[in-house]
Amino acid sequence: MDLNDASLFRQQAYIGGAWVDADNAKTFNVTNPATGAQLGTVPQMGRGETARAIQAANEALPAWRAKTAKERCAILKRWFDLVMANQKDLAALMTAEQGKPLTEAMGEIVYGASFIEWFAEEGKRLYGETIPTNAPDRRIQVIKQPIGVVASITPWNFPNAMITRKCAPALAAGCTVVAKPAEDTPYSALALAELAERAGIPKGVFNVVTGIAQEIGAEITSNPTVRKVSFTGSTAVGKLLMKQCADTVKKVSLELGGNAPFIVFDDADLDAAILGVMASKYRNAGQTCVCANRIYVQDGVYEAFAAKMAVAVGALKVGDGSEGGVSQGPLINQAAIDKVERLVADAVAKGAKVVVGGTRHELGGTFYTPTILTDVTSDMACSSEEIFGPVAPLYRFSDEADVIQKANDTPFGLAAYFYARDVGRVFRVAEALEYGIVGINEGIISTEVAPFGGVKESGLGREGGKYGIEEFVEVKYLCLGGI
Ligand code: ADP
C-alpha cells in the first residue's frame, strides 16, 4: 500500500479527539484479502472503551447541537473537500483492506463523500411547521431537534460510504456519533476520522471504536445515552440489535440483506439489460446488498440473453484489485467463498447448468471465477439465500403475473430491477414489486439524492435524499397557550 500521505493510515481508535489503544493493549490483525498479507493491527476494544466513546460523544453534544446548521455545514464541507483531496489514498487503503478493484474504490470515495456534501446542505433545511390552531388562544408549532448520541455499525463491503451515509446526516442534524466499522475494514473508517479531525470536527463529535463486535454492540445497545442505532449488515445481526435496543427504546435504522430479483421481459432492450445486470451483479464481486440475486428472463429472450451474458462474464478480469484492468477482486474472506461454493454445489446437484465459471479461481485464496448458472429453480438454496459473490443464477419465466409473484416470494425487499419498454408494463410491475428500491431499465441505483432502504426483513428507515436526515431528529410539538 503506497500512500502519498502515510498519516492517513491510522492503527489506533479515535475517542474524544484522541488516538487510543485498547485498555488491555490487545490488538487484532487486518489483512489484505487479495494477498493474505497482514496490513497492520487495530485495537481490540470492548465495552469499557465503547462506554467512554459514548461519554465523549455525550459531552460534545451540547456545543455541537448549539451550532447553527450553517456552521456545521462549513465544517462538514471541509471534511468533504479533504476526502475528495485524498481520494487516491483513501481508495488505495480501501482496496488493500477490502479487495475491490481500485477503480471501484475510487468511485466509492466519491459516492461516500457525496453524502457529506449533500447532508451538510440538508442540515440547513430541517424545517419545522406551524399548524393551524385548534383554539383561538393557542398556537401550535413543530420543531425538529437532533436525537442525541448516535451509534453507527457498518459492514466491510462499502468501508467508506456506509459510514458517511449514516454519520454525515447525523452530524449535520446536530448529533454526535460513535462509529464501529467492520473488523475486516477498519482503516477506511480511521482515515475518515483523521480527516474529520483535520476538517475541524470538534473532539468527541465523531468517534471510531474498533474491536469485539458483540461487546461493542452490547454497550451501544444498552447504554441509555445512545438514542439511535443505525446499522447496515446481516439480517441476523440487525434483528439481534433491534431486540437489544428494545430495553432502552432506541430508535433504530436497519439496512439488512436483500434477495434482489432482476427481471428481463421479452420487450427489453437486451444490450441495456446486459449492461445493467453486469453492473448490478458483479460490482464488488457480487458483494453488495443490492446485487442481482435472482435473474428472471422471459422465454422469448432467455437463450439470447444467456449467450450475451456469457460473453460479457467471460471477459471479466479477476485479480488483485490494485492491478490495472482488474474488475473482479477476491471475496472478503474464507467464509464468503465457502458460502458461494456451497450455493453453486447445491444448485448443480439440483439440476442447474454451469455456463461460465462454477469453480474457485486459479489465483487461489478467496478468488472465485465469475459464474453463470442456467436452469435454476426456486428449490435451490441460491434462490432464498443472499449469494454475496460473483454467481448469476438465471431463471426462465413466461408470464408477467407469475414472475411478479416469484419476485415477491421472499422475506426480503431491498432492491429489485426490471427491463421492459412497454409503458403499461413498466408501471404495473414497478408498483407491484414489494421492494424499497426499483431500478427500471437501470442496474445502478445508488445516489445520495434518493432514499435508499428496504421493506419487509430488509430493514427500517431510509438513507440519502431528504429522508436520510429525518432519521436523526425528534419531532417536538410546542403548544403555546394563553395568547
Ligand atoms: P456481514 O455478514 O456483512 O459481515 P454482519 O452483520 O456480521 O454482516 O456485520 C456487519 C457489522 O455488524 C460489522 O461491523 C460487525 O462487526 C457488526 N456486528 C456483528 N455482530 C455484531 C453484534 N453482535 N453486535 C454488534 N455488532 C455486530
Does the active-site annotation cover 255?
Answer: yes
* Cα of 74 from ligand 1 centre, angstroms: 33
Nearest to 131 by CA among 122, 140, 123: 140
**pLDDT over 90 (residue 363):** yes
Contact call for residues 144 and 122 (beta carbons, < 8 A): no
Q: How far is the centre of ligand 1, averaged over its atoms, from the C-alpha of 394 (Å)? A: 30
CA–CA distances in Å: residue 306 to residues 291, 356, 357: 18, 10, 14
Q: What's the Cα-to-Cα distance from 474 to each of 363, 433, 477, rounded to whole Å?
A: 51, 31, 10
pLDDT at position 416 is: 98
pLDDT in tens, 165-190: 999 999 999 999 999 999 999 999 99
Specify the CATH class of 261-440 in words: alpha beta
Catalytic choice (194, 197, 219, 255): 255
Distance CA 206, CA 218 (A): 20
* Nearest to 347, CA basis, from 375, 324, 320: 375
* Cα-Cα-Cα-Cα dihedral sign, residues 16, 174, 152, 164: negative
Q: Is 186 in contact with 27 (CB distance < 8 Å)? A: no
**What type of residue sits at position 359?**
T
- Give the cell for residue 369: 471465477
Q: What is the pLDDT of residues 365-381, one digit of tens each?
A: 999 999 999 999 999 99
Integer Rg of the chain from CA: 23
* C-alpha to C-alpha distance for 49 and 211, rounded to whole angstroms: 10
Q: Is 192 exposed, middle or buried (0-12, 13-18, 19+ CB in 10 A)?
A: buried
Please, which pLDDT band fits residue 1 given cuts at 50, 70 and 90?
A: confident
Check if CATH label 3.40.50.970 holds for domain 6-256+458-479: no
Closest residue CA from atom 15 of ligand 1: 182
- The answer to whether residue 469 scores a pLDDT higher than 90 is yes
**Nearest alpha carbon, ligand 1 atom 24:** 217
What are the pLDDT digits (tens) for 290-342?
999 999 999 999 999 999 999 999 999 999 999 999 999 999 999 999 999 99
Q: How far is the CA of 450 from the centre of ligand 1 (A)?
A: 25
- Going from the Cα of 239 to the center of ligand 1, the distance in angstroms, rounded, reads 11
The model's pLDDT over 133-152, given as tens digits with 9 standing for 90+, comes to 999 999 999 999 999 999 99
Taken in order 173, 178, 184, 186, the sign of the CA dihedral is positive
Helix (H, G, I), strand (E, B) or coil at 359: coil
Q: How far apart, in Å, are the Cα atoms of 395 and each of 170, 173, 191, 328?
A: 41, 45, 43, 24
CA distance 204 to 220: 16
CA of 183 to the centre of ligand 1 (A): 9
- 184, 209, 226, 237, best to mutate for ligand 1 pocket (most atoms within 8 Å of CB): 237
pLDDT digits 0-9 by tens, 31-86: 999 999 999 999 999 999 999 999 999 999 999 999 999 999 999 999 999 999 99
Q: What is the C-alpha to C-alpha distance for residues 169 and 453, in angstroms, rounded to an integer?
A: 15
Q: Which residue has its alpha carbon closest to ligand 1 atom 19?
A: 213
Write a three-state SS string for 126-163. CCCEEECCCCCCCEEEEEEEECCEEEEECCCCCCCHHH
The per-residue pLDDT for 319 is 97
Per-residue confidence at 25, pLDDT binned at 50, 70, 90? very high
Domain ranges of the chain: 6-256+458-479, 261-440
Rounded to whole angstroms, the Cα distance separating 323 from 298 reads 38
As to burial, measured by CB atoms within 10 angstroms (0-12 exposed, 13-18 middle, 19+ buried), residue 125 is: exposed
Residue 277 pLDDT > 90: yes
Question: Using CA atoms, how far apart are residues 370 and 465, in angstroms rounded to an integer?
Answer: 33
Which cell goes with 25?
Answer: 493493549
Is the model's pLDDT at 11 over the cut of 90? yes
Judged against a pLDDT cut of 90, whether residue 126 lies above it is answered with yes
* pLDDT at residue 451, as a whole number: 98
For the whole model, what pTM was predicted? 0.98
Q: Residue 187: its pLDDT value, please? A: 98
Beta bridge partners of 356: 372
Helix (H, G, I), strand (E, B) or coil at 394: strand
ipTM value:
0.99
> From CA 399, how far away is CA 263, in angstroms rounded?
11
Spatial separation of the C-alpha atoms in residues 409 and 435, rounded to whole Å: 11
Mutate to test the pocket of ligand 1, among 47, 98, 153, 190 (most ligand atoms within 8 A of CB): 153
Of 236, 260, 227, 241, residue with least CA distance to 415: 260
- Which whole number is the average pLDDT over 431-455? 98
Query: Could you identify the atom of ligand 1 that is nearest to the CA of residue 180?
Result: 14
Residue where the block lists cell 455525550:
58
Pocket of ligand 1 (CB under 6 A): 153-155, 180, 182-183, 213-214, 217, 233-234, 237, 240-241
How far apart, in whole angstroms, are the C-alpha atoms of residue 217 and residue 258? 22
The predicted structure's pLDDT at residue 2: 87
Beta strand 260-264 pairing with 415-419: parallel
